Amino acid sequence: MTLRSIAANTPGRRANWKALGLSAEDMEKPKIAVVNSSSELAICYAHLDGIAKIVKEEIRKAGGVPFEVRTAAPSDFITGAAKSGSYILAGRDIIANDIEVQVEAALLDGMICLTSCDKTPPGHLMAAARLNLPTILVIGGYQQAGEIDGEPVDVEDVWSGAVGERFGAKPKFPVADMAENAIVGPGVCAGMATANTMHCVVEALGMALPGHAPVRGNSPKMQDNARAAARRIVEMVQEDLRPRQILTPGAFRNAIATVLGVSGSINAIKHLQATAIEGELDLDIFALWEEMSDVPVLSAVRPTGAIRIEEFEDSGGARAILKRLEDRIDTSVMTVTGKTLAENLAGYEIPGPDVIKPVSDPVGVGPAIAILKGSFADSAVVRLGIRDGSRPEEFTGPARVFETGAECMNAIAEGQVVAGDVVVCRNQGLKGGPAMGGGASAVLFALDAAGLAKTTAFVTDGQLSGLCLKGLTVAEVSPEAATGGPIGKIRDGDEITISVQNRSIDMAVSAAELATRNGPGYVMPATGYLGTFRKAVQPLSTGGVLLPLED
């Protein structure tokens, strides 16, 4: 096999690389992109420069030549500060494009992606599926949580405590004290929020080595994992093992089963759909979700339950979930090891049976996440967690409609939202937000702090943080308000009915009446890149990709 990087070696290219220190021998070796989606802005990425150095050293030892490239590195708590958080999801697609305009443009032979905060794993997966270049992901790990008086404190406590104080809820410790102690090491948020959910997804898809997700950030184990992945990417280039051989329909079913088994973040749905679209797969992830809805909850990691992410890792993590689900998933799929999932799982014994339960004795019945449809939405997502009756699953009530998250928060603070209401917070979709900005997660925490989470329902066309699991919350309603969806035409007092059992969300407004009403259009302004995003983004049924798609 002729390496494409060699075929592209013009005299000018060789001159540039010789000036960088490459020898004549190096010119003939596999050229590997070390995709370091990193930034000094956020603790999520603080260790990745050191990991990149380890990876590059190991690639050289394995007979390859590494080139480190950078991408955008969104982080919710930092880059969510402007435009009501619109830059967060919008950053996902920049990552995929950053990779294309460096790795593909330079005709490199393979890439190893250092994947960390929420939007970097899908950005890396989307680029891998698009370019179909030998690719492996290194799981970036989670941050060590702190303690106050011997009790664990993490960033979820800080966030929920800060919102809660405004609405009269007393945090377990003063918010200022928690902020000083919540994070004591690099990596993503502790708990089964979006980042750790997506790390598990990466392994379930077969795009990371077995046993790598989740992992303590910058730990000796993580560093060893990075070395192993660096050695393996050189072999993958030599074997010509490509993502589209791995990212098959069976692999996506395995990823869905894993998200359901860990009661993970709803954001995985759109990220998996976007990856499938990038890989030119004719897959409807929303339909597959219902197909896999019998998968029970096997581990109750925060925010679903009290188990901490460290316990989940020590009990086998994603690998143990896949082992528990062995009889329900497709183990014939290929993985980055060059072996099938069945071969990877053969002989593996789960070290923590009390943390990751068997299918025959689960933590809770499935599904932990369900897709709803009806006269109110073509699709909408509800996260249920452990279905023990502590949160409503059936609800009928009058709509209380708000155009912005801030308007909704103020109404909650002023006591204008009452038990029995269906709180509708709109203009937070892919185009309306844009990029699903708008602060829906803060609204949910406000309802909880005000004591309304279990006596109201919350409906939005926005997205939710993976830390959100409170009350009956229906998110990512599509079509969204800005594109003329029913959520944009609902009015105060219109009755909305939600039924998890029926997988439905309906409104007591006739189609004829709805046709006479106007939607809000674009309430939030969008300029610069966000304006470009608004024009280019495809519907949620595609995962919100920016690719031009045929009708």
Enumerate the active-site residues. Answer: 465
Distance between CA atoms of 223 and 230, rounded to whole angstroms?
11
Q: Take residue 458 and report the two structure tokens written for it.
A: 């919350």
Distance between CA atoms of 530 and 310, rounded to whole angstroms?
37
3-state SS string over 293-325?
CCCCECCCECCCCCECHHHHHHCCHHHHHHHHC
Distances (CA, A) of 244 to 204, 234, 544: 15, 18, 20
Q: Which residues contact 475 (CB under 8 A, 6 or more apart)?
A: 266, 380, 381, 382, 383, 440, 459, 460, 461, 462, 463, 464
Pairing of strands 422-425, 394-402: parallel
Distances (CA, A) of 58 to 29, 114, 208, 223, 233: 14, 14, 17, 11, 10
Residue whose pair of structure tokens reads 């250092």 in the numeric block: 114
DSSP state of 193: S
Q: Take residue 495 and report the two structure tokens written for it.
A: 């009755």
Smallest Cα–Cα separation from 38: which of 143, 140, 179, 177?
A: 140
Crossing angle of helices 317-324 and 249-261, in 10° steps, is: 100
- DSSP letters, 38-85, are --TT-GGGTTHHHHHHHHHHHHHHTT-EEEEEE-----HHHHTSSGGG
Q: Take residue 490 and report the two structure tokens written for it.
A: 């609902």
439-451 as b/e, with b when 16 or more CB fall inside 10 Å?
A: bbbbbbbbbbbbe
- DSSP letters, 277-292, are HHTT----HHHHHHHT
Which strands make up the sheet holding 65-70, listed edge to edge?
A: 65-70, 31-36, 110-115, 135-139
Distance between CA atoms of 464 and 362, rounded to whole angstroms?
26
Q: Take residue 153 and report the two structure tokens written for it.
A: 């404190």
- Cβ atoms of 376 and 294 within 8 Å: the answer is no
Distance between CA atoms of 517 and 108, rounded to whole angstroms?
53
